[in-house]
Amino acid sequence: MSIDEIKAAIRDVPDFPKKGILFRDITPLLQDPVLFAETIDILADRYKDNLPNKIVGVESRGFLFGAAMAYKLGVGFATVRKKGKLPYKTYEASYELEYGTATVEIHHDGLEVGDKVVIVDDLLATGGTAMAAIELVKKFDAEVIGVDFVIELESLNGRKILENYKVNTILQYD
């Protein structure tokens, strides 16, 4: 398998969720067990020599890639979810959207002091959600050793806001 085959599995959906947006749909990638496994292998292999203690998956597609990556590496998994979705005590961080703000949360016991953490999501756009996840990890005095995505939309410059962190992506689009 190759990165070109993974990229070929990403479906372009024009005008979703609104007119003028070209949505990169990962559903066909998830439906192909060989390509999905290859994607997880690429994500996980980056850390085989610098093993994290935890993978943090960002709602919701980051759960798919992050949980599989945690399983592959034999490490724990924690979730970052939209405000109000976690049932226990939480820390929260807010970030800017095009119109307004959004808030994400993590359980108080999601990480431990000193954990080495990789944050995983499906898509890097503006970087706001990833930066909020980083803020949550910092509340534990944990170390972010990587921020990984399957897809990067380079024209939205999300990498710039994350410039102080090791950012890894598999696929890049303009």
Q: Which residue numbers are catalytic?
A: 61, 98
3-state SS string for the chain: CCHHHHHHCCEEEECCCCCCCEEEECHHHHHCHHHHHHHHHHHHHCCCCCCCCEEEEECCHHHHHHHHHHHHHCCEEEEEEECCCCCCCEEEEEEEECCEEEEEEEECCCCCCCCEEEEEEEEECCCHHHHHHHHHHHCCCCEEEEEEEEEEEHHHCHHHHCCCCCEEEEEEEC
